[in-house]
Amino acid sequence: MALRELKVCLLGDTGVGKSSIVWRFVEDSFDPNINPTIGASFMTKTVQYQNELHKFLIWDTAGQERFRALAPMYYRGSAAAIIVYDITKEETFSTLKNWVKELRQHGPPNIVVAIAGNKCDLIDVREVMERDAKDYADSIHAIFVETSAKNAININELFIEISRRIPSTDANLPSGGKGFKLRRQPSEPKRSCC
């Protein structure tokens, strides 16, 4: 069985549940008071997809605005980016849009973008309509799913969908739906390492 390493980064506003999604996926546990991520944290999990083993190298980034300056270090070379927003907070959805733009400008070409509307267990205080988000995701050809890290809803599905969308190695064709169309970046900003 072939083993593929897939670098995935999580982006999104602070407190939307990026780390919780990762924890749910990797450890299958939930802690309401998880430490705010500083810089980024790193985790891995291997899952089987069809006849391949996908090893996810997950970079979970810090959400606070000022940590955005560091984000390029993490999303560079990523196969996929999961942009998370909080369905109970409208402004986190606007932040998400900014992330999409930044990825378009600076992110790797053909990066698979997934939009996750987290905290879908809190339906009573919803601020972002599923319809609106879905429409937006479709407009940029991104995966869309509403998740709940707390109740383990759609977390694994999210990663399975990413696996599906990652272009397979043997043929350079997309195995599933369409990839995220990005205009190619003419030159990467120069870095001494990586």
**Sole binder of another protein in the list 10, 12, 25, 74 (CB under 8 A):** 74
Residues in CB range of 57: below 8 A, 6 or more apart: 5, 6, 7, 8, 42, 44
Binding mask 94-113 for another protein (x = CB under 8 A): x---x--xx--xx-------
CB of 164 to another protein, least distance (A): 22
Q: What are phi and psi of 186, to 5 degrees?
A: -60, -45
Q: Which is nearer to another protein, 12 or 145 (CB)?
A: 12
Instruction: Name the one range near another protein by CB under 8 A: 89-97, 133-141, 156-164, 167-175.
Output: 89-97
**Is residue 123 a contact residue for another protein (CB under 8 A)?**
no
Beta strands in the chain (DSSP E): 2-12, 40-49, 52-61, 80-86, 112-118, 143-146
80 in Cβ contact with 114 (< 8 Å): yes
At 48 the three-state DSSP class reads strand
Applying CB under 8 A, which of residues 1, 66, 172, 183 lies at the interface with another protein?
Answer: 66
Q: Which of 22, 52, 59, 147 binds another protein (CB under 8 A)?
A: 59
**For residue 47, what are the β-bridge partners?**
54
Whether 112 and 81 have beta carbons less than 8 Å apart is answered as: yes
**Number of chain positions touching another protein (CB under 8 A):** 47
Residue numbers at the binding site for another protein (CB under 8 A): 5, 14-15, 27, 29, 31-44, 55, 57, 59, 62-70, 72-74, 90-91, 94, 98, 101-102, 105-106, 189-190, 192-194
